[in-house]
Amino acid sequence: MEGIRSQEEVASLYRRHVDMVYQLCLVLMKNVPDAEDAVQTVFRKVMEYPKPFRDHEHERAWLIVTARNECRNQLKHWWRTRRESEEVLNRLAWEQPEDGTLWETILRLPEKYRLVLYLHYYQGYTALETAEILGKNPSTVRGWLVQARWRLKELLEVEEYG
């Protein structure tokens, strides 16, 4: 069937990118169960995506945009208002990056700041590349990075001295 990827192709793509997609979903969803659901949906969409990826960067960018959109859709869904609180979900065990305190502080920032910090520092994208992925003006992304660093610094200082 044309447009459907082989199991080997999907498995290879999954192995290459699952950690990045999971971390991105965790940044946006702020809890493991929802992040895992979003990751599953993203890779299901990979299987259904009819076009070949141009190259490795197109593949990564497509996964980032798809993960972001899936997380946004889940966050807007009606059932989120009819379930356990985020506090209950956050008590579930989950793996954090090695910089645990910093990671927890990043998760307290607004989505746009979490996203640009993650893409820039954890995935190594430049501000220009991040702007292209997010469909934003590069100066907007640079501004968000500056604001995100400033807010992160403030939060970390409050935790240290407060």
Topology (CATH) of 1-95: Rna Polymerase Sigma Factor; Chain: A (1.10.1740)
The amino acid sitting at 25 is C
Comparison of pLDDT for 161 and 97, the residue scoring more:
161
CATH class of 97-162: mainly alpha
With pLDDT > 70 as the criterion, what percentage of the chain qualifies?
Answer: 81
DSSP 67-106: HHHHHHHHHHSGGGGGS--HHHHHTS-----S-HHHHHHH
75-128 pLDDT, tens digit each: 886 555 555 455 544 544 444 445 567 878 888 899 899 999 888 888 888 898
Mean pLDDT of 128-152: 91
Nearest to 140 by CA among 126, 127, 124, 122: 127
Which conformational region is residue 74 in: left (phi greater than 0), alpha (psi within -120 to 50 degrees), or beta? alpha
Confidence band of 19 (pLDDT split at 50, 70, 90): very high
Domain ranges of the chain: 1-95, 97-162
**Shared fold status for 1-95 and 97-162:** no
Mean pLDDT of 4-9: 81
pLDDT above 80 for 28 = yes
Confidence band of 31 (pLDDT split at 50, 70, 90): confident
Distance (Å, rounded) from C-alpha 70 to C-alpha 75?
Answer: 9
